[in-house]
Structures are given as C-alpha cells and as structure tokens.
Amino acid sequence: MNKIFTLCIALNLCFGPTLFAQKGDATYAQKAAEIQAKVWGDKAPEFEVKTLPAGMEKESAVIIAEYTNVEQASNSRYKFAFAASTSATRTNRVTTYRERVKINDKAALDDYSSLSYQKSLDRTQGLINKTYNRKDTYIGVKLIKPDGKEVIVNTSEEVLTKNEDKDKRGKLAIPGLEVGDIMDYYTCKVELVEDYADKGGNSKYLFVLGSEYPILSYQLNLQYNSKVTVNYINANKAPEFKETTAANGDKTYSLKLSNLPKYDDKLWTSSLRQYPYIEFNASLEKSRGTFFGGKKKEMSRLDEAIKNYKQFFELSKRYMFTDYKSDIKKYFDSGKDFKAAPQDTLMRILYDKWKYSMYITAFDNMAGVYVGTKRNKARVQGRYAVMEIAHTLFDMEIDFDVLLVSPRTTSSLENVFQEGDMEAMIRINGDKKTYMCFDDVFTQFNEIPEQYQGEDAIVLTPKKRNFDKFEESRATIPVVPAKENYLASKMNVSLLPGNMQKISIERTITESGAMRGDQADLMLTPDFAPVLKDVVTADNKKEKKVKLTKLGMEIASATAKAREELTDNFKNEISGEFGQDPQNLTKYAVTNVGISSVSPEFGFTGTFEMDNFVKRAGNNYIFEAGKLIGLYNKIDDKQRDRKIDVYMPCARTISYDINIAVPKGYQVKGVDELNQQLKNETGTLSIVAKVTGGSLNIQVSRTYAHNFEKLAQWPKLLEIMDGIGNFSSQKVLFEKI
C-alpha cells in the first residue's frame, strides 16, 4: 500500500487564504518553492525529533509527528450571472498535512515508497464572468538518514498518471528511502471555489484519532473567518477542540494529543463504531441550534436529522408520482384477481416495477449513451424511493412503516451528524413483515443489505397520506441467517495429459444474498433488463418488439464495445480468487442473472487453465489441493491478540464441491489427512474427502453463524479460521502405480 492523498490535511503555517490572489503569472513551481520554504522553515520541536522512545524500534513504523492545518475564509459576494445579479459564495481554503515517520521494516518501507495525489483540478466555468473552482496540490519530501544527514527529494521527478489541461494527477516515487530512515513529508491543497448554492463554502472533515502505527504527537488546527459557521461532533469519547476567538471574530479550533496507540485490529472492524473520531463541518449556513463547537444546544443531531426527514416526506405531497397501483392491476387478468392476490405478491410486483422504471427505463432515456458495468454501480437515494413507493402504498391501503437506519459501516444512530448519515427503507406490515430497500438495481424485494442487518432503526409510521404526522418508535433490523447468504463453487479439475504440471478447471459459481458480490462486474444492463421486465409483465401481455430507434442503435453499439470488457472482468474475478491470471479462459458466461426475488441466485461459469498447483517429484506429482479454495490469508500473531469486537460482513456459508480426476496409472495418497470437522458457537467447518472411482472428491463448507461477535468469541472464530487456513496449504500425492 502506498500513500494516496484524496483529501489533504495538516500543518500550522500562516500561508493565509491568498495563494490564488498573487499578482502576475506565478508558476506552479514558484508557488511550490514558496510553500516548501515555509514548511521546512517551521522548526516545531515535534518535527525535529530524531530518536524514538525505548521499545519503539520493534514497531513497523512510528509516526513521530502528525499535524493538520486548515485555513478558510468564505464570504458572500454579488456576481452578474444569467442576466441578473445574484449572490455567490467565494471560499479560499488552504489545507496542509505534514507527517514525520520513522521507517523500521520492509512493510512500512513499501507503505511509504510513493505518494499519489491530485496535482491540479480546474472546473472553472464561464469566459467573462467566471465562476471559479480551482484546486492545486503541492508536496514536499525530505529524508533524514541515521547519521543525521537530510536529503530533500526532488518532487519535479513525479510521474503524471493523468495529464490533461485541467486535470493532472501525480505520483512521486521516493528515491533513496531505506529502512532506518525518517521521512518528513507534506501535502498542501490550495482551493478557490465559488458556489451559487444557498449553503456555500462547505468544508467537511473526518478525523479518526489513530493509525495503524503509533503516533507520538498529533495536532489539529482549523481556522475560519467570522462569517463561517462551524459544527462538529466528538464521537466514541474523542476529546473536544480548544476554541478561541480573535478580536475580529475569526475562530480557531485546535487539538493536541500525545502517544496515540496504534490500531492493530484491521480485520472485520467498523472504524466509526469502535474508534474515537471527530466529524467537522464549516459553511456560511447559519447554525441550526444543534451542535456548535461540539456542545449540544436545542436539539440533538439525531433529532434534527429525523425532523428533516419528516419535513422531506411532508413536502412530497406537492409532487406527482407514477400510478403504480394501476400499473400493477394491468399485471392481472381482472380486478378480482388483483384483489385476491397475496400481499407479498403485490409488493414484489410493485418493487420490481419501480426498479425497472427507475434503473432501466429512466437510465435508457438519459441524454447520452450510458452503458457498461459502471451503470450497475448507480443508485437512487433511499428517501426519494421511499417517498414515491409510500404514496402507492397509501393508494393500496397497505400498512407500512418508514425505517431510518445508520449503516453498520458508518456512525451509530447516536452519533448521526446529518440526515445523509441515515438510509431510508420501507417495512411492510402483515402476517409476515417484509422489506423494501433501494441500494441498487440488484437489491431484491424483501432483501435487507448486509450493512443494515442487526442495526437499531428509527420507525416512522405515517398516520395521514400527506405525511404531516408520524408516530415514532424504535426497532431492530433482522439479521439474515448464514444459510441465505451463500457462495457455492463447483469445480471439475484435471491435470493436462501433455503437461501434468498444468491443470484445467471447469468452475461454476452460485451466489445468494449478501454473497452476490460479482453480479455488478459480470453483466451489462441488456443481460438482466429483459429478465426483470418479464417478471413484472404477465405472460399474456408481453409487449411486441418495437423498431429500434436511433438512440437504441447508439446504445446497442456502445453495449457491444462494453461487452468486450466483460472478458477482462471474468479474468479479474479468477485472478482475485486464485492470485494468478487464468490461461485459455473459455465457456465463460452468466448462468442466472439474479435480478429479482423470483429467481434470486446469481450464477456464472468458466473453464480455464492454471500453473502453480502441481509439482513433479520423480515419477509422482504433488497436488496442492488446498489452493483450490482460493487465496486465504492466515491469521498472524499480531492479529490473534485482538482488543475489539468483531464486525463480520454478514452471516454466511461458503462451500466448495471439488472433483479432481485422478490421472490414469496413479493412485492418491494423503486423502484422510484432508478431513476435518469443527463446530462451535461462531460457526462450523466441514471437510470431507474421498476417492470414488477415478475421482478425488473434496467437499468443503465453512459457516460464520453471525454478523457480529463479541471479543470474547474471537478464540472460537480463530478455530474456524485456523482450520480453513490449514486446509488451504494441504497437499495430496499422485503416486505412480
């Protein structure tokens, strides 16, 4: 992992927000030199340290000092735009980050071996009366050798990974960096942004107080002019800022901490649930009486977010929505059939019709040709989907609730900072509660995405159609059992007759529930759109084919090009699974699209060849059978000493049905050693191997029973993980008869 800067932060230097206001045509290099002189000229004691405290030499790396400085000035000003005078917000912001780190081993050396960053980005609009949006980033690096010698790295030796007039991205390799060195580096992002929106000058920061390496000195310093309103939240016992106000009303928020411990536990964690952090927002928007300077005033952030959701739904009565009720009736032969249909059936049709209308019809009608797998990643904000579906549910007299939930990968409900931190879904009430979530085109009716499972939710029960009154309560989102989230792999494996150190694998994958992780990368819209259309259209009412329009022909042409890229995606899936590129990939295809709860599984197949599984030993061959379950990273000693609870992705089952053809003239040795049976409170592991006829069959199944485990259960989880880890390195011998 190399250092990548997408948001640059740091360093208490008085650059001031004027770097864009320099007279003349100062070049990027001149500005870079000016910034470098100021950074290296800062002789803060913490950035002069050259020796570590006793015992720190055993750490992979030690961050001696980390310092963040933000300086922002935002003001409203009138500009002439669109034949009228209007108010705009002009924001000058300088954000600088500096870090001084001691490199103690090869892993840390690799981590800091290069810096990647957005060098410049100019989205300024207009020719005469311009609306500015410019961002430039400057970097600097120096190395302090063990003998005390300082070496300034020439940053002009960067490589531009993107080099367009208004968009440049750079990557700088750090020459001469060695284990034992101290690396002192900074990034400085200078921005000039104008915004015609009512809420201009926004700057948002998230500071997680910790790192994978210990930090000896950690400082934040954020400075804003008097017109900027600041809101922030201290979560998970994070300390509050020290706030100072100058005579002119300018505000400074500072924080200084020492000896922050490293976070060893990176596997199955949720940073914003388990570590202290500060979320910070600054803008010209007036304070809404919630958090100011981290102190509660009239209303908590959560209560305010709930209030905003309620107001949003109340405003929905002003809009016109699709008449889905009439659309659903058309699915049935008569009104009598419609009334007799089970509620679950009606709700599934409603959900799939909405999904087809939004993700297929609406996207197809967009200006331009929008194809490729990137389209599969698009999503609609849940609250807009809820708003539209809710009106149909009122029309159909369906009892329902709106649920607001904070995903388990983000902050808890108690630490909600703004309404966007929560997602909205619908719960249909009845003999059996069902759910409508709106994460993406592949989410199915009554499927709860894994990030919401087991979480507390705010329940809003609308009492009137105009959404001006709600009953409010709490509920817990159900956790989907492991048997519904599964990945099943079936493989037929053989050694190539002409080269028995190469194998052929015929592989079929079936994914269900939260394990449908390959769906978005292996299909295009034309692969699943007809299937989705079929499940929302009655058999006797299928639409006739229509003449292809000009736009349709453009989409078809673009789709053909996008389909060529799918081959690489199939190869990448195999490479990610086995850690090496497949050879001679053939017969690859999607076998089931899994677009609707009518047929929920996603499946695909492919045949390919691979090296590095078989080694010759005289007349015999050693087959690394355990590697057929794919790459598996065994738990190292550092990970075993866990200190926090375990946030699993989901409860899940992963299974393999492997058939290895035994070469003629050979027998298999070492089969019995493959067998394992483990079961405890956290899950199960079953490995059953046997030779039947001319085939070695290995059945592997592991189940993680829950999506969350308390720290006390970590040793039990390790039993399952160690078992599968041991199998992943096991071998069998094909012995010459």
CA-based max dimension of the chain: 93
3-state DSSP assignment of residue 177 = coil
Report the alpha-carbon distance of residue 596 to residue 577 in Å, rounded: 26
Distance set, CA 204 to CA 9, 152, 279, 288, 333 (Å): 11, 32, 8, 17, 54
Percent of the residues in the chain that have a pLDDT greater than 90, as a whole number: 67
Token pair listed for 48: 């002069």
Report the alpha-carbon distance of residue 186 to residue 733 in Å, rounded: 55
Q: CB–CB of 491/466 below 8 Å?
A: no
3-state DSSP assignment of residue 554 = helix
* More reliable by pLDDT, 347 or 264: 347
Residue with token string 């809820």: 386
Average pLDDT score over residue span 369-391: 85
Residue 15: what pLDDT? Answer: 41
Please say whether the dihedral angle defined by the alpha carbons of residues 80, 82, 87 and 89, taken in this order, is positive or negative: negative
153-163 tens-digit pLDDT: 999 899 999 99
236-279 tens-digit pLDDT: 999 999 999 999 999 999 999 999 999 877 899 999 999 999 99
Residue 111: what pLDDT? Answer: 94
Query: Please, what is the average pLDDT of the chain?
Result: 88
Residue 355: what pLDDT? Answer: 94
Is residue 24 scored above 50 in pLDDT?
A: no
Min mean pLDDT across 209-213, 568-572, 682-686 is at: 209-213
Residue 288: what pLDDT? Answer: 43
3-state DSSP assignment of residue 535 = helix
Residue 314: what pLDDT? Answer: 79
Exposed/middle/buried for 77, CB within 10 Å: 0-12, 13-18, 19+? exposed
613-631 tens-digit pLDDT: 999 999 999 999 999 999 9
Average pLDDT score over residue span 707-721: 97
Q: CB–CB of 416/300 below 8 Å?
A: no
Residue 692: what pLDDT? Answer: 92
Average pLDDT score over residue span 661-675: 96
Report the alpha-carbon distance of residue 426 to residue 328 in Å, rounded: 19
Confidence of residue 342 (pLDDT cuts 50, 70, 90): very high
Segments in 54-192 forming alpha helices (H)? 106-111
Please say whether the dihedral angle defined by the alpha carbons of residues 327, 328, 330 and 331, taken in this order, is positive or negative: positive
Segments in 634-692 forming alpha helices (H)? 637-640
412-434 tens-digit pLDDT: 999 999 888 999 999 999 999 99
Range 218-250 burial, b when 16+ CB lie within 10 A, else e = bbbbbbbbeebbbbbbbbbebeebeeeeeeeeb
> What is the per-residue DSSP string for 458-485?
EEEEE-STT---EEEEEEEPPPPPGGGS
How is residue 239 annotated by DSSP? P
Please name every residue paired with 708 in a beta bridge, in sequence order, or none if there are none. 647
Residue 67: what pLDDT? Answer: 96
For 529, list phi and psi in degrees, rounded to 5.
Answer: -60, -45
Report the alpha-carbon distance of residue 181 to residue 98 in Å, rounded: 17
Residue 370: what pLDDT? Answer: 67
| 673: amino acid identity, one letter | E
Please say whether the dihedral angle defined by the alpha carbons of residues 539, 541, 544 and 545, taken in this order, is positive or negative: negative
Min mean pLDDT across 31-40, 303-312, 316-325, 594-603 is at: 316-325
Q: CB–CB of 511/520 below 8 Å?
A: no
Is residue 543 scored above 60 in pLDDT?
A: no
Report the alpha-carbon distance of residue 703 to residue 655 in Å, rounded: 9
Residue 538: what pLDDT? Answer: 66
Residue 1: what pLDDT? Answer: 43
107-132 tens-digit pLDDT: 999 999 999 999 999 988 877 678 88
Residue 552: what pLDDT? Answer: 64
Token pair listed for 396: 């159909």
Query: For the CA atoms of the chain, what is the radius of gyration?
Result: 30
Range 501-510 burial, b when 16+ CB lie within 10 A, else e = ebbbbbbbbb
Closest CA to 221 of 341, 102, 69: 69
Report the alpha-carbon distance of residue 566 to residue 580 in Å, rounded: 18
Confidence of residue 463 (pLDDT cuts 50, 70, 90): confident
Range 387-425 burial, b when 16+ CB lie within 10 A, else e = bbbbbbbbebebebbbbbbbbbebbbbebbbbbebbbbb
Is residue 542 scored above 70 in pLDDT?
A: no
Confidence of residue 5 (pLDDT cuts 50, 70, 90): very low
Residue 19: what pLDDT? Answer: 43
Report the alpha-carbon distance of residue 255 to residue 68 in Å, rounded: 10
Count of all residues that appear for the chain in the document: 737
Distance of CA 432 to the CA centre of its chain: 32
